[in-house]
Amino acid sequence: MTIRVLLWRFGAIGRQLADQLRPERESGAMHLTAVVRDVEAHRERGDHGVDLRPGVTNVDWQAALDDVDLVVECAGVSPARQRGPDVIGSGRVLVLASVGALADPDTARALLSGPGRLWVTHGAIGGFDVLASAAEAGGLDTVRIRTRKLASSLIRPWMDTEQTQQLRRLAPGEDPVTVFSGHPAEAIELFPGNVNVAVALAWATRGGFPGDDVEQLAASLQRVEVELLADPDAELSTHEMSASGPAGRLMFSFESAPSPENPKTSGLTALSVAHTLRIALDQRRSVTETNS
**Active site (catalytic) residues:** 239
Q: 57 near 48, Cβ under 8 Å?
A: no
User: What single-letter DSSP state applies at residue 102?
Assistant: G
Identity of the residue numbered 165:
Q
Measuring CA to CA, which residue among 43, 60, 58, 245 is closest to residue 142?
Answer: 245
* Distance (Å, whole) CA 36 – CA 81: 18
* Distance (Å, whole) CA 227 – CA 275: 27
Task: Measure Cα distances from 102 to 120, 187, 200, 281 in Å.
Answer: 10, 13, 9, 22
Q: 225 near 235, Cβ under 8 Å?
A: no
* Distance (Å, whole) CA 114 – CA 106: 14
* Residue 256: φ, ψ to 5°: -95, 125
Per-position DSSP letters for 127-172, written without gaps between them: -HHHHHHHHHTT--SEEEEEEEE-GGGG--TTS-HHHHHHHHH--T
